[in-house]
Amino acid sequence: MSTERTLTAGEAARALGISLDTLRRWDRQGRIAVRRDAANRRVVTADEVARLRGERETGLSTRNRFPGVVRSVTVDGLMAQVEIDVTEPTRVVAIITAAAAEDLGLRVGSPATALVKSTSVAVSTRPRE
């Protein structure tokens, strides 16, 4: 029996600052890892909520994190423009090096977190497992 802490779909949605309908849509789209309990209700692990909130990363002083999904990656020479759809209808656009976009494995539809500090935007992906 697993001792991993889980949240109901409603609790997870509140923790993420999204609606229950958005959580259900993310589940259908594969943007969030959801399990079903014995009564076939959606449950989400606390680790998954932390991942989507960008709390797994350490050593960063950034306070504003906007988890979302990559909408586009446009490479032009040494630079790449990464567009991330974050909590709807907000969108964050970052200009990063093409090498960084490649290193992060950024692809349309992949989860990513916009880390905002001062006037610059950094891009992070969930840890590779």
104: left (phi over 0), alpha (psi -120 to 50) or beta: alpha
Buried b (16+ CB within 10 A) or exposed e, 49-64: bebbebeebeeeebee
The answer to whether 41 and 20 have CB atoms below 8 angstroms apart is no
What is the domain class of 64-124 according to CATH? mainly beta
Greatest extent of the chain over all pairs of C-alpha atoms, in Å: 53
Given a cut of 50, whether residue 81 has pLDDT beyond it is yes
CATH no. of 6-53: 1.10.1660.10
Interval 5-63: pLDDT, tens: 899 999 998 888 888 998 999 999 888 999 999 999 999 998 888 888 766 555 555 55
Given a cut of 50, whether residue 1 has pLDDT beyond it is no
For 48, the token pair is 């998954």
Instruction: Return residue ranges of the chain for CATH 1.10.1660.10.
Output: 6-53
